[in-house]
Chains A and B, each alone.
With several copies, the nearest count.
Chain A
Amino acid sequence: MTSSQPFTKILIANRGEIAIRIIRACRELGIKTVAVYSTADKDSLHVQLADEAILLGDAAPKESYLNVDKLIAAATQTQADAIHPGYGFLSENASFAAAVESAGLTFIGPSADSIRAMGDKAESKIAMKKAGVPTVPGFEGLETEEEYRKAAKKIGYPVLIKASAGGGGKGMRVVNEEGELAEAIEGARREALNSFGDERLLIEKYLADAHHIEFQIFGDKHGNLVHLFERECSVQRRHQKIIEETPSPLLTPELREQMGQAAVAAAKAVNYFNAGTIEFIFDPVLSTFYFLEMNTRLQVEHPITELVTGIDLVQWQIRIAAGEKFPFTQSDFHQRGHAIECRVYAEDPSNGFLPSTGKLLQFIEPRGPGVRVDSGFVTGSDVTHFYDPLLAKLIVHAEDRSAAIQRMQIALKEFIVHGVVTNIDFMQAVLAHADFAQGKVSTRWVERSMESGNLAPVQQQSAELQNLIAAALADVVFTGSKSQSAVSNETDPFNPWKQTNNYRN
């Protein structure tokens, strides 16, 4: 590693754990950091850890983290020479990338052109077909209902109608038979127009029991581009990932090689540089895979790739953005061991995974060999409703898959979060499930398991009495202590209590 300093100062246009992750990378590279924040985040951890911090505005994202003008003004004012967008917010916004470069700053990510090329589902699919990357059988650019009807027949039901400009499940309809087609097209068009101002749709084969397998790719500005293997991201709820792992238990070395080559071809087709991810739909029955979309940014789940490949993706993002050459070739990379990430969300599995907010009364992160926690919170932090519910990413690395699962189960047990409801118990249930052990979890598994009651709680019979004893004794034992001071203000601390429904119960 050269010790020359790629930049003097970087502004981080993000918040929470990813802002902190980037600050750490900068610090190790000897680069100063500028945090930005909204009024809701004025004492949050990323503000504390950065060398400087600039208030952008009100809590609403469009007043702060989504405000291009304010971000660029903050960078100019602090004399930053580059902006790292993190993930989410403006990270996949081609206009932002262009505006950053126009302001004479470096955007730490791909070119605006690459972002744009991959931003449209229909156009990127056409580009991928041209590059020889397998795509889900289907058609783009259709207009009349008759055209759709013919296309669907050719593809075979069920089919999926989705918005060309779409994302996040909006403007998407599954059609099981011809009778549903007309209404689905109508509904998807309306939603697409409302959400994206663009009513174009595409139609493709619907794969019900598919897995989500993505490939990390990484390239420099000199034409070097490699893949860094796969991540299996099939444990999802509401199209949001919960648990990711690598290697995927489904891939053979041959498939991995094929998919890796397809990922590299996909990225090269749009002249990609910096970190990116090619998402594939994988059909475990036929062992076929199709390009789904490309995320033109760092991914939430990048740490599992870092652990099995041994490279620091965020540091390399920064160095590549500064024009450095990526010194590795494909054959330098090997997967070692097995890594899993669990996303600890402030959400209530027993309440439809809806958000939970509040002050963190306790936030004790697990530790130990092979355990990494990327988080943006400490005891006393407020979890507000303004931003996403991710409290922490709990990541483990171990010799093999079963050792990694065991390590994760212990680490989840040691993760203490009081003050908001989390999905920790829920993830324990997933990890303990036979389907997970066998690598059989497809993207709709959580939904179906919740419906069928197939997800058994991981609970001890004696837990209830023990919990009550502990709650009661805490009042006695901790009385007068600071962290429990609220208790002593109560005239009637013991009577009566009700166990609030939780996932377990």
Chain B
Amino acid sequence: MKITFDTQTLEINPSGDNYVASMDGQTVSVQVLRADATRGRMDLLIDGKKVTAYVSSDMAKRWVTIDGQTMMLTKTSGAKKGVRHDHAGGLIAPMPGQVRSVSVSAGDVVKKGQTLMTMEAMKMEIRIQALKDGKVKTVHAAQGQTVEREQILIEMEE
């Protein structure tokens, strides 16, 4: 099996009772010493060294912890099409939370730095401000609405 990871590809193949993993020309042997599904815990022998990994997953993400370091892998194909994870065309939520107030409507002309919306999460308040002068195209979130991180809040005209 193959996993594409950013620009690299990891290949893992069974080899007897064990596995062989290779990436970037580096090849290592991998043995599963034991696996406890309830705790999401695996003891692996990677290249002769014992490695304990905790792995969890939901639909779009894998969480892996090894030696206290947690890495999150996001399934790119699982992300919604059309939702760009940048600020190019609009303003996205920097955190999950609730929209506390909306100060603009579609068609409003705004100035760079103007507060368009405020969000709140975990006792913290965040202002969503215009990145440059422009005109509001669409407002995607209303007061009181719960939004996810990276959800588009406001689209600006190009």
For the complex, count residues of A whose C-beta is within 8 A of B. Answer: 75
**Chain B at the A interface: mostly helix, strand, loop or mixed?**
strand
Q: How far is the CB of B2 from chain A (nearest CB, A)?
A: 7
Q: How far is the CB of B101 from chain A (nearest CB, A)?
A: 13
**Chain A residues near B74 (CB, 8 Å)?**
497-500
Nearest B-chain residue to A459, judged by Cβ: B69
**Chain A residues near B77 (CB, 8 Å)?**
492, 495-496
| Residues 316-338 (chain A) with a chain B CB within 8 angstroms | none
B63 to A361, Cβ gap below 8 A? yes
0/1 per residue, A48-72, Cβ < 8 Å to B? 1001110000000000000000000
Q: Is residue A502 contacting chain B, with contact meaning CB distance below 8 A?
A: yes
A357 to B54, Cβ gap below 8 A? no
A351 to B72, Cβ gap below 8 A? no
B67 to A413, Cβ gap below 8 A? yes
| Interface locus among A97-105, A106-114, A290-298, A418-426 | A418-426
A498 to B6, Cβ gap below 8 A? yes
CA distance A79 to B132 in the complex (A): 58
Q: Is residue A309 contacting chain B, with contact meaning CB distance below 8 A?
A: no
0/1 per residue, A331-362, Cβ < 8 Å to B? 00000000000000011000110111111011
| Residues 90-117 (chain B) with a chain A CB within 8 angstroms | 94-98
B122 to A380, Cβ gap below 8 A? no
Q: Is residue B66 contacting chain A, with contact meaning CB distance below 8 A?
A: yes
B122 to A388, Cβ gap below 8 A? yes
- A486 partner, pick from B5, B6, B57, beta carbons under 8 A: B57
**CB contacts between A and B, total, < 8 Å:** 231
Contact A346 B21, CB 8 Å, known A385-B98, A463-B71, A469-B44:
no
A419 to B62, Cβ gap below 8 A? no
**Chain A at the B interface: mostly helix, strand, loop or mixed?**
mixed
CA distance A386 to B123 in the complex (A): 7
Q: How far is the CB of A118 from chain B (nearest CB, A)?
A: 21
B3 to A495, Cβ gap below 8 A? yes
- A355 partner, pick from B10, B75, B97, beta carbons under 8 A: B97
Q: Is residue B124 contacting chain A, with contact meaning CB distance below 8 A?
A: yes
Q: How far is the CB of B13 from chain A (nearest CB, A)?
A: 11
**Chain B residues near A449 (CB, 8 Å)?**
none
- A354 partner, pick from B36, B53, B124, beta carbons under 8 A: B124
- From B35, B70, B94, name the one whose CB has the most chain A CB atoms within 10 angstroms: B70
- B73 partner, pick from A362, A424, A490, A499, beta carbons under 8 A: A499
Nearest A-chain residue to B30, judged by Cβ: A469
| Interface locus among A213-221, A224-232, A474-482 | A474-482
| Residues 409-446 (chain A) with a chain B CB within 8 angstroms | 412-419, 421-422, 424-425, 428
**Chain B residues near A53 (CB, 8 Å)?**
50
A473 to B38, Cβ gap below 8 A? no
B70 to A362, Cβ gap below 8 A? no
CA distance A425 to B68 in the complex (A): 8
Q: Is residue B15 contacting chain A, with contact meaning CB distance below 8 A?
A: no
**Chain A residues near B40 (CB, 8 Å)?**
361-362, 418, 474, 478, 483-484
Q: Is residue B141 contacting chain A, with contact meaning CB distance below 8 A?
A: no
CA distance A469 to B3 in the complex (A): 9
CA distance A465 to B55 in the complex (A): 14
Q: How far is the CB of B68 from chain A (nearest CB, A)?
A: 3
CA distance A428 to B69 in the complex (A): 9
A473 to B44, Cβ gap below 8 A? yes
Q: Is residue A255 contacting chain B, with contact meaning CB distance below 8 A?
A: no
**Chain A residues near B131 (CB, 8 Å)?**
none
**Chain B residues near A414 (CB, 8 Å)?**
68
0/1 per residue, B48-86, Cβ < 8 Å to A? 001111111111011111111111111111000000000
28 cross-chain CB contacts under 8 A: A352-B94, A356-B95, A357-B97, A357-B121, A361-B63, A362-B63, A386-B122, A414-B68, A415-B68, A419-B58, A424-B70, A425-B70, A463-B71, A466-B53, A469-B12, A469-B21, A469-B28, A474-B40, A477-B37, A477-B42, A478-B55, A481-B38, A483-B40, A492-B77, A496-B3, A497-B3, A497-B74, A498-B76
**Ranked 8 nearest A-B pairs via Cβ:** A413-B68, A481-B37, A470-B53, A496-B4, A418-B63, A474-B55, A361-B56, A418-B56
Taking A352-B94, A356-B96, A470-B44 as known contacts, 19 extra A-B pairs with beta carbons closer than 8 A to each other, sorted by chain A number, are A355-B121, A361-B56, A418-B56, A421-B72, A458-B69, A466-B66, A468-B10, A471-B62, A471-B73, A477-B35, A478-B55, A481-B37, A483-B38, A495-B3, A495-B4, A496-B4, A497-B5, A498-B6, A499-B74
